[in-house]
Chains A and B, each alone.
Chain A
């Protein structure tokens, strides 16, 4: 049991108005588990809402005083690791990886282990609340669930009646409840759906979809012998099972080559680290493809049988020699040639990893296409040691609840899909365009925004603009577990139960079905996302789209095709489905083959094969601002986690040692970092481990919400610096195309602080 815990004294009563900032300064530090037990018990006992059907499956008198192991699924990132929760007398004491789960393989990363501190976060949202002062004033009123839900639904309905359903934006990030969130969105009738995709790896998923028909292929690590990672830092951006497999692969003597402007931990494990110039990894891969095609090192059989457009590629690659590339990417031509030959000599057990964001430039879509094609040249699809068709989303087909068809949408989307971005899938969207549309009022004015488990204020570039857009809204509602930055500026907050207190729909992984179930009773007056969405739907007259009385009804419908006993599933946490038949070489593309030359790209007037696209470079005296992850944090969600913040309390600005010396910047000294759109004051991490023309800031820090007492004031936000640069093909935000100046902090500027 966590020994020390904040306790909020006193908790506002229903109807009481309180000031967030003051409310949180009145806290006391209480020592000892007894206090936590008492708080938890009081909270659990005092708040029956009537909506809750969260009967914790295991709880009984027999288990009193004993530690019970409950299988569930982690949600401290999106990887969905199977976890086992150890609970004693209603207190969660430990989380461990579930050995049965292919994503965790019995292990959890630091974030997964720190899930306990998500549940026992001192700043958690404990009850529904409605704004009682100006937006962002910190003044709130505690209300009942009925009032909060009525208030939310009334406002949504009012906007629908006055401006049409499209004036209501709804956004959410990758989660298990998402299908029902999409139900609300589609049934409500708005096309304006915001996801995290365009800020993440749209370029990769779209490139691979248009090449192979699969968004995110896997890698057969067990048989692979050579992998090229491009900006993919698995050691620090942990995808638990894949990180484990990468390290096993490396320990076996598998060859790793890493292209990254930073000497990441992944790079430190590589046989070869290539500190590529940002934005020019495209040149590298064009040249590698050039060598492989001109020296005929490719899999002729695979190319002939399973691909289209090879001749066009051959022609396009002609001018992209290693010498041509070396001038651009600053990797020696001899090295490029050698790597191309070595790589090809291992085929088909050689993979150019699909990565996440590569350089994160507008040309990254081309880079991803070049990488996808390099794999095709290796003929490694479905072969031992090659790319595997099983992506993240694959798995057995689940049952579902019957529901009516959605109403027809009449309005165009605010984010320009597909009228401005013809190739971007509707489910992905381009969220930064929604923000801009709110500011321009074009093609029409958005009026309301329902944010579910997302923090657009922190994630979208140019934070200052996003804040203005949010403040201009008629109505902003947030569903979350923490008082995040967007919630701080909202009109109503609907507190969700954490993943350790609620049921979620089934999550398939491989050939197994896994269950997320509550491991403790909800500590506070919170509800599961599924029930919040249903209650909102009910109040909006959309009840038919939520045909369940409690969360378990959905799960029961999902497992109906498999003849599984629900109670057994609850006890065991997973069910193993028979392995599906072997995959045929068929690709879900227009031609049914691997599209080296993409007919879709050609149909919108773009070249069908990857071509060089010159990336912008910083002017003299400026740096590429790189972003990335640390292993201890997940995006913007973990900076209030007591344990994770103990490990990584802020994000210093990495700057090359030689450059720092020239600029008179000492390690740990305060520096002013300024881009076209913002300025922050950070601390310098003077290091050899970064290119001289780059600086680096890890993502996730620099929160604006004063209600996050641990995360507020920790580090700086790179969204405050990022310019908005969207690739017209993939809709992907080019995060690394922001250039900054760096200088030591002068005394006269100290008063300024961070400006966002």
Chain B
């Protein structure tokens, strides 16, 4: 079976340090003021002193049913067999339809290349056998990356073991990023 790359986010393990963002900016030469990935705060829920908060790391969801791919007039955006939603800069006419159509606000307009740019899953690093830069540097260990088609991959194991969700499921986009919201139990289960 072919590979199908995806992320599993162990939300409990995210400490909102944003190392993932800086690593991505450096790795992908992201222009100042733009970002390919992010951390969203969900909370605070409750009132002092009964509080909870979650931090949701995110980037392009590399949807199986990606609105950016279907709306692109020239096919500059495409879904690759390995699960990556890729942008062909040469074909991008800069109409920004994909930016408007993305329910996750995952894209930004690259001011110099004049294209709608976004996360590539660091495909150049994957080619060298490395993980995406955001995953490699994740201090809390919240970002997990791997082949969703491989039953032995860590992502597959985590998804089998834990309840998970995707963001905005009602959009029907079928994202390749899964979120595990559970907090750890004694005896250990978010490793």
Direct contact of A and B (CB under 8 A): yes
Q: Pick the contact of A31: B25, B46, B112 (CB < 8 A).
A: B112
Nearest CB to that of B47 among chain A residues? A688
B140 touches A243 (CB 8 A): yes
Residues on B with beta carbons closer than 8 Å to the beta carbon of A32: 112
**Interface window among A52-60, A202-210, A251-259, A392-400:** A251-259
**What is the CB-to-nearest-CB distance from B130 to chain A, in angstroms, rounded to a whole number?**
9
Q: Is A107 an interface residue (CB 8 A)?
A: yes
CA distance A97 to B22 in the complex (A): 13
A691 touches B48 (CB 8 A): yes
B19 touches A110 (CB 8 A): yes
Within 8 A of B (CB), among A1-15: 1-4
Nearest CB to that of A93 among chain B residues? B26
Q: Pick the contact of A113: B22, B53, B190 (CB < 8 A).
A: B22
Known: A109-B139, A243-B139. A642 touches B23 (CB 8 A): no
Taken residue by residue from 604 to 630, chain A's Cβ proximity to chain B (1 for < 8 Å, 0 otherwise) reads as 000000000000000000000000000
Residues on A with beta carbons closer than 8 Å to the beta carbon of B137: 96-97, 107-108, 113
Q: Pick the contact of B12: A108, A112, A269 (CB < 8 A).
A: A269
Within 8 A of B (CB), among A239-285: 240, 243-244, 247-248, 250-253, 255, 263, 265-266, 268-269, 273, 275
Q: Pick the contact of A244: B32, B133, B141, B190 (CB < 8 A).
A: B141
**What is the CB-to-nearest-CB distance from B155 to chain A, in angstroms, rounded to a whole number?**
16
Residues on A with beta carbons closer than 8 Å to the beta carbon of B16: 235, 265, 631
B189 touches A247 (CB 8 A): no
Q: Is A293 an interface residue (CB 8 A)?
A: no
Interface residues on A, range: 35 or more
Taken residue by residue from 17 to 53, chain B's Cβ proximity to chain A (1 for < 8 Å, 0 otherwise) reads as 1110111011101011100000000001011110111
B140 touches A235 (CB 8 A): yes
CA distance A4 to B111 in the complex (A): 11
Residues on A with beta carbons closer than 8 Å to the beta carbon of B49: 263, 273, 275, 691
A255 touches B17 (CB 8 A): no
Q: Is A632 an interface residue (CB 8 A)?
A: yes
Known: A244-B140, A251-B141, A269-B12. A688 touches B44 (CB 8 A): yes
Q: Is A143 an interface residue (CB 8 A)?
A: no
Q: Is A515 an interface residue (CB 8 A)?
A: no
Interface SS majority for chain A: mixed
Nearest CB to that of B55 among chain A residues? A265
Within 8 A of B (CB), among A81-99: 93-97
Q: Is A42 an interface residue (CB 8 A)?
A: no
Residues on A with beta carbons closer than 8 Å to the beta carbon of B29: 1-3
Known: A252-B191, A255-B186, A688-B46. A247 touches B15 (CB 8 A): yes
Q: Is B151 an interface residue (CB 8 A)?
A: no
A110 touches B48 (CB 8 A): no
Residues on B with beta carbons closer than 8 Å to the beta carbon of A263: 44, 48-49, 51, 53
**What is the CB-to-nearest-CB distance from A320 to chain B, in angstroms, rounded to a whole number?**
24
Q: Pick the contact of A95: B26, B47, B186 (CB < 8 A).
A: B26
Q: Pick the contact of A647: B10, B21, B112, B139 (CB < 8 A).
A: B21
**What is the CB-to-nearest-CB distance from A56 to chain B, in angstroms, rounded to a whole number?**
20
Q: Is A646 an interface residue (CB 8 A)?
A: yes
Q: Identify the interface centre among B29, B137, B185, B186: most chain A CB within 10 Å of its CB.
A: B137
Nearest CB to that of B31 among chain A residues? A3
Q: Pick the contact of B25: A240, A252, A643 (CB < 8 A).
A: A643
Within 8 A of A (CB), among B37-95: 44, 46-49, 51-53, 55
Residues on A with beta carbons closer than 8 Å to the beta carbon of B169: none
**What is the CB-to-nearest-CB distance from A736 to chain B, in angstroms, rounded to a whole number?**
19
Q: Is A692 an interface residue (CB 8 A)?
A: yes
Residues on B with beta carbons closer than 8 Å to the beta carbon of A96: 23, 133, 136-137
A236 touches B15 (CB 8 A): yes
Q: Identify the interface centre among B13, B18, B33: most chain A CB within 10 Å of its CB.
A: B18
B191 touches A109 (CB 8 A): no
Q: Is A656 an interface residue (CB 8 A)?
A: yes
Residues on A with beta carbons closer than 8 Å to the beta carbon of B187: 253
Q: Is A663 an interface residue (CB 8 A)?
A: no
Q: Pick the contact of A646: B33, B48, B189 (CB < 8 A).
A: B33
**What is the CB-to-nearest-CB distance from A442 to chain B, in angstroms, rounded to a whole number?**
45
B188 touches A109 (CB 8 A): no
List 6 A-B pairs, Cβ < 8 Å.
A3-B32, A94-B27, A109-B139, A116-B26, A248-B141, A690-B48
Nearest 5 pairs between A and B by C-beta?
Answer: A252-B188, A113-B22, A251-B190, A235-B15, A631-B17
Beyond known contacts A4-B32, A253-B187, A692-B48: 7 more, CB 8 A cutoff: A96-B137, A113-B19, A113-B137, A243-B139, A631-B16, A644-B22, A691-B48
